[in-house]
Copies of this chain bind each other. A is one copy, B any other.
Amino acid sequence: MATIKPVKPEKRERRRLRTPNPEVRKRFLSAGLELINEVGFSAVRIEQIAERASLSVGTFYLYFEGKADLFIEIVIDYTDQLRKRLSDAAADGGSAAERLSRGMDAYFDFVEENERGFLHFRDAGNVETTVGRLSTWALDRHARDLQPLLEESIEEGIIRRDDPELLAQSIIGLMQHVAGFWLEHKETHSRDQVREFVAGFVANALRP
């Protein structure tokens, strides 16, 4: 985790902690995400994050170089949490289409819970980090998680035989785009409408 940083680090140099406390780090991450979802990334101040976490601004800078650095670590942390939720939702029981559909539901839940964080990630996730472009990194992880389910299903003949890497990328890219569209068109498109649409579109695309 701690090795993934923006390529151009922010001005403020961070004193290194010999024994960082993972609990403290987590409190900053969750306070940061809460506030981003409440008021939006650009409005959040470090002081507020520290206050929400019941910690000091000085402690914040022992753990993060700044707000952009915090956001990168939030994305990394919550990508792993989302992966866990997606894989739990898609765990066995039912056809590949049903498992995928449950995964989509879990994804829409996550997007809805983290609306402003999701939109900021979509808009600012192009930041270069030591693992490459942050949003490419995150979407690739989801695509790679999805690929084995697609490969199995191709072997079983229940989905169309095609390049599983491209299939996984297509589904992930499509879902991210449509989720962003939905958040910006809530007045015309309900969650159920969008979710059913995507599930139908993907199930159709995958038919053998």
Contact = CB atoms under 8 A, between A and B. Distances in A.
Chain A contact residues, majority secondary structure:
helix
A169 interface: yes
Interface residues of A, number: 33
Interface string A169-181: 1101110111001
A88 to B, nearest CB: 25
Contacts of A170: 174, 177-178, 197-198, 201
Contacts of A167: 201
Interface centre among A122, A123, A189, A200 (most CB of B within 10 A): A123
Interface string A142-174: 000000000000000000101100110110111
A207 B160 CA distance: 14
A131 interface: no
Copies in the complex: 2
B160 A204 contact: yes
B136 A184 contact: yes
A133 B200 CA distance: 29
A202 interface: yes
A178 B184 contact: no
Contacts of A169: 177-178, 181
Contacts of A172: 177
Contacts of A189: 163, 166
Interface of A: 122-124, 126, 133, 136, 160, 162-163, 166-167, 169-170, 172-174, 176-178, 181, 184, 189, 193-194, 197-198, 200-202, 204-207
